[in-house]
Amino acid sequence: MTDRLTSLMARGAAFLGSETAIICGAMSWVSERHLVAAVSNAGGFGLIAYGAMTPALLDAEIAGTKALTDKPFGVNLITMHPQLFELIDVCRNHDVSHVVLAGGLPPRGSVEAIKANGAKVICFAPALSLAKKLHRSGVDALVIEGMEAGGHIGPVATGVLAQEILPTMALELPVFVAGGIGRGETIAAYLEMGAAGVQLGTRFACAAESIAHPNFKKAFFRASARDAVASVQIDPRLPVIPVRALKNAGTEAFTAKQREVAQLLDEGAVDMGEAQLQIEHYWAGALRRAVIDGDVEGGSVMAGQSVGMVTREEPVAEIIATLMAEARAALDRRAA
Ligand SMILES: Cc1cc2nc3c(=O)[nH]c(=O)nc-3n(C[C@H](O)[C@H](O)[C@H](O)COP(=O)(O)O)c2cc1C
């Protein structure tokens, strides 16, 4: 007999080709072959974080992931990458089944190029109007991500986005909810609201299979929700997408970096595009220092507000089993 959780997840799981409708969101430097394969092998859906990879590195990472799992997984690409179409070709060469386009609206032709390869396209919808636009442009599924999430964030809370977007858009295409999810009860709630599934990052970042440095993991285990703060924009002329990370010396260094880039902008030494690129490179480098080198003071320990619910290193399979058991118990209580 199919239980309620299985039937609520059926649409999302069928879309992903996985056992559960739980996606492990792409995390630069963290979501490489080991974590991605572990998630997909455990019945979730892993995503390779493209990060700052060249097409050749992405090619190797996909091949490495395939060597560790025969389950489906996806690739997350950043829309502003100058070699986006080459990266799409790399995905096609490997028959990657799902491509997520993150970091802004997909550039002209990118959705079509991915679909022409037979893959499914998933995009982030930061507002209802954009969700409708993305649906019209042929996107196969949406992720709505609230400001509780780790990494780059929008301004609106997950619960509000879910209420605004799910009632209409979930009728049209699968919608996955992300941001601030740490327990299964919340997964059950979003599924009941019409979500096809969920995407979690923070909860998986320190799994046993994650290659993140022990210092990075320790910082997560010690932190509480209020330690995961959003970066502040200091110059109105320099629009900076906020990043949620654990508060540390690196948070202060980012303020200084913004001042430096704003000055270059003032002096006409860089244009706005270059200024924003410098900021993005700063984040990629700072995240690498924390995740790979273990510099959790000077680097960027990106983490969502659910970090307080991450207290120890657990294998991915255990995390997914716990989330599913919590979701199932919540639904059973409602039915009783
Ligand atoms: C350390 C870290 C790095 C991340 N890097 C990326 C990234 O490179 N690209 C991306 O689309 N999202 C990135 N994210 C967001 C996750 O994919 C996911 O959507 C988010 O973590 C979900 O919210 P949660 O943190 O509340 O679970 C990152 C999140 C974390 C915690």
Per-residue model confidence as pLDDT tens for the chain (336 residues) = 579 999 999 999 999 999 999 999 999 999 999 999 999 999 999 999 976 679 999 999 999 999 999 999 999 999 988 899 999 999 999 999 999 999 889 999 999 999 998 999 999 999 999 999 999 999 999 999 999 999 999 999 999 999 999 999 999 999 999 999 999 999 999 999 999 999 999 999 999 999 999 999 999 999 999 999 999 988 888 888 899 999 999 988 888 999 999 999 889 999 988 888 888 889 889 999 999 999 999 999 999 999 999 999 999 999 999 999 999 999 999 888
Q: Residue type for 258, please?
A: Q
Atom of ligand 1 nearest to the CA of 302: 1
Residue from 122, 118, 119 nearest 140 by CA: 122
Q: For a substitution probing ligand 1, which of 98, 142, 202 has the most ligand atoms within 8 Å of its CB?
A: 202
Q: Nearest C-alpha to atom 11 of ligand 1 is from which residue?
A: 102
Q: What is the CATH number of domain 4-210+311-335?
A: 3.20.20.70
Residue from 136, 141, 151 nearest 242 by CA: 151
Between CA 225 and CA 284 the distance in angstroms is: 23
In angstroms, how far is the first alpha carbon of the chain from the final one?
17
Give the torsion sign (CA, 69, 70, 72, 75): positive
Parallel, antiparallel or unpaired: strands 151-152 and 175-178: unpaired
The answer to whether the beta carbons of residues 131 and 160 sit under 8 Å apart is no
Residues forming CATH 3.20.20.70 domain(s) in the chain: 4-210+311-335
Between CA 154 and CA 166 the distance in angstroms is: 17
Atom of ligand 1 nearest to the CA of 50: 8
Six-digit token string for 179: 């941001």
The answer to whether the beta carbons of residues 198 and 20 sit under 8 Å apart is no
Pocket of ligand 1 (CB under 6 A): 25-28, 30, 49, 51, 76, 102, 145, 148-151, 178-181, 199-203, 205, 302-304, 306
Q: Nearest C-alpha to atom 21 of ligand 1 is from which residue?
A: 201
Q: Distance from the CA of 24 to the center of ligand 1, in angstroms?
A: 9
Q: CB burial class (10 A; 0-12, 13-18, 19+) of residue 291?
A: buried
| Whole-prediction pTM | 0.97
Q: What is the pLDDT of residue 51?
A: 66
